[in-house]
Amino acid sequence: MKMQGLFLVAIFCISYTQLVKGQTLRGCPTTCGNVSLEYPFGTSPGCYYAEDDSFKITCNKKDELLIGDRKVIKISHSGELRVWVDISYACYDTKGTLSYGIYHSYKLTNLSLSTNNKFTLVGCNAYALLSTFGMRNYSTGCLSLCNSQPAANAECNGEGCCRTDVSVPLDNYEFKTSPARLGNMTNVHHFNPCTYAFLAENGTFDFDALEDLKNMRNVTAFPVVFDWSVGDKTCTQVGNTSVCGGNSKCFNSTRGTGYNCKCFEGFEGNPYLSDGCQDINECTTSNTIYRHNCSAPSTCENEPGHFICNCPSGHRKNSSSSCEPKDMLQYFGWTRIFLGTTLGFLVILLAVSCVQQKMKHMKNTELRQQFFEQNGGGMLIQQLSGAGPSNVDVKIFTEEGMKEATNGYEESRILGQGGQGTVYKGILPDNSIVAIKKSRLGDSSQVEQFINEVLVLSQINHRNVVKLLGCCLETEVPLLVYEFISSGTLFDHLHGSLFDSSLTWEHRLRIAVEIAGTLAYLHSSASIPIIHRDVKTANILLDENLTAKVADFGASRLIPMDKEQLTTMVQGTLGYLDPEYYNTGLLNEKSDVYSFGVVLMELLSGQKALCFERPQNSKHLVSYFASATKENRLHEIIDGQVMNESNQREIYEAARIAVECTRVTGEERPKMKEVASELEAVRVTKTKHQWSDQYPEESEHLLSVGILSAQGETSSTGYDSIKNVAILDIEAGR
């Protein structure tokens, strides 16, 4: 593995430095250094597409082709542009103080980041962000953790190195890469003082722990692919006025704006020039892709865009277009040849068809069995057989049924995408609507996560948990079938643009009570205690009545009855991750309590759990919320849509609960059952106050008999009933 990553970059560079003259307008330069120039790009007036100055590029005195200040590697007719993009890095001393570093920011003109790139972080106990700035701000990134020096053959899977796909909104043209360190540097500084973040084209970087963690082998830039297109109209809109030349056709750009051109089948060249696409002579070309398949070169006849195969000398074509000796045709006559050929063809076709059908059936059966085992079918059956009778409702769906339900996994059916896979909207034969999760698996650990989600959900039967209906293991990647929740996620309602952020305080308080009750049920009342491990607003779904549904149990863990905590690899989401769990790796129910506290803060403030636009000390909502509470300025961060004179007491009580849930030490946090009871008490107390305001005479009567005393004393039908309601809601598994 040593030096393999640098070797790949070197091979990539050599492959593009072969001097091939480009196709440009007559009288214009065809090369700049080792890079060929291709129209509609050009370096001088009259040499590039005149209606768009973004196609003007520069050839400097060093014979380097530049677009802006970036060096161009290759221009492709298909709408791709490869350039060198520098690495961002940050280096720290042994105290964890930033010593030096460079964060690179780029502004693109009429270019978009291609999905053929990966965003990569190299470093220990660090994270990196790729942030875009445009009509829609967007951020993505990944987290890398190290307990010790990674092995020399370690892969880029989260230990010393992590990477993520690039899926940037198409209306963003400016982006920035930035790495940052997490935690103390003392344990890792001797082998990794720096953190590196960069974009690279797929296949151009292969992680080498021995070399890359130290200095990235002195590589300062990587090839990055950008998409380009002509104009901002579709092919239909431009019609015959497109820049596409002869023997070419227009196709809409994958960027979502503008169009590109390509030569017809059987032609090659620059489709943006009037005569750029030239016929390929399949009879003489040495290119195996386009070369003819005739019996001999002498029988090949070139035609514009294609070729035909003639019969050799002494032969002629019969009615089935095959070549037969002329004497044989004369001897047997056309009728006998036709009948014999037809009969023989039918016999052969029947025999071949029978063999193919049998082989296809055997192959499909074998493939389905292979996928079944590959997707953990044996493990699932073994676990389900001993998990109890509750699993009889988990239905096994067929591959054909899933294809029909999703209309062949049509893109318009996609409900959402994430680290665990893609979720489609499905319609079953009985017209019931379901959500079908197509897992994204790459190794055995992810197979275990899939099996884990099936097992966890099979143990849960609760009205506020998304119900698992069944699964399909016959496909290349396994599928999970859930009940369909129609109104998106809590994150969408609080921060997204798909829904109007109009959740009232009553809605938010009820949602908080439902989430807390569900988590308390998972911790205390399920047949086997369950820790969710990834509680966040993006994993809380809302139905048409805005009822909360807890989802995404891919990271959850079943806790044996004889244990209170487990030691696991740290997993979760930045902003919601329990700091004690992060530092120790010890997982217990208080980790969910911390994450719920962050969710409750989001409900109260309407702000995201982690926001890099806030001041340095307030990027994390927990610290922002805690400091505001300590300084008696909580009203500054409470969402203005929910705060009023009548509910301040309830909001401040909920804020107190949120702060207690997010205390640094798990022992100081309340249990989830206690949190649910306190929130239910707030909710019921609020209902009483509203009832009292609406019926003052009845309220005075109740006060006179002592049920609603100012000292908070209760009778058998007063505050005790509140507790009973709270407990009933927590343990409401069906």
520-556 in b/e form (b: 16+ CB < 10 A) is: bbbbebbeebbbbbbbbbbbbbbeeebebbbbbbbbb
- For the chain, the residue count is 734
Which of 380, 519, 362, 535 minimizes the C-alpha distance to 458?
Answer: 380
How many of the other CB atoms lie within 10 Å of CB of 82? 22
What is the DSSP track for 432-492? Answer: -EEEEEEE---SHHHHHHHHHHHHHHHT--BTTBPPEEEEE-SSSS-EEEEE--TT-BHHH
Token readout for 370 is 């292979």
Phi/psi of residue 55, nearest 5 degrees: -85, 0
Token readout for 602 is 């989001």
Q: Strands of 569-706 (E only): list them.
A: 586-587
Phi/psi of residue 422, nearest 5 degrees: -115, 140
Report helix, strand or coil for 227.
strand
The angle formed by the CA atoms of residues 301, 299 and 352, to the nearest 5 degrees, is: 105
Strands 395-396 and 468-472: parallel
Q: Please, are residues 513 and 519 in contact by the beta-carbon 8 Å criterion?
A: no
What type of residue is 700? Answer: E
Residue 48's contacts (CB-CB under 8 Å, 6 or more residues apart) are 39, 40, 41, 42, 55, 56, 57
Helices (H) and strands (E) in the chain, counts: 16, 37
Token readout for 622 is 């927990």
CA dihedral 449, 454, 456, 457 (to 10 degrees): 140
Phi/psi of residue 67, nearest 5 degrees: -120, 110
Residue 316's contacts (CB-CB under 8 Å, 6 or more residues apart) are 323, 324, 326, 329
Beta bridge pairs of residue 261? 250
Token readout for 209 is 């722990």
Report helix, strand or coil for 264.
coil
C-alpha distance across the termini of the chain, in Å: 54
Phi/psi of residue 189, nearest 5 degrees: -65, -30
What is the DSSP track for 405-420? Answer: HTTTT-GGGEEEEETT
Q: Please, are residues 178 and 88 in contact by the beta-carbon 8 Å criterion?
A: yes
Asked about 534 being catalytic, the answer comes back as yes
Residue 653 burial (C-beta neighbours within 10 Å; 0-12, 13-18, 19+): middle
595-628 in b/e form (b: 16+ CB < 10 A) is: bbbbbbbbbbbbbbbbeeeeeeebbbbbebbbeb
Rg, C-alpha atoms of the chain = 33
How many of the other CB atoms lie within 10 Å of CB of 47? 21
Q: How far is Cα 205 from Cα 194, in angstroms, rounded to an integer?
A: 18
Catalytically annotated residue among 208, 212, 227, 534: 534
Catalytic sites, residue numbers: 534
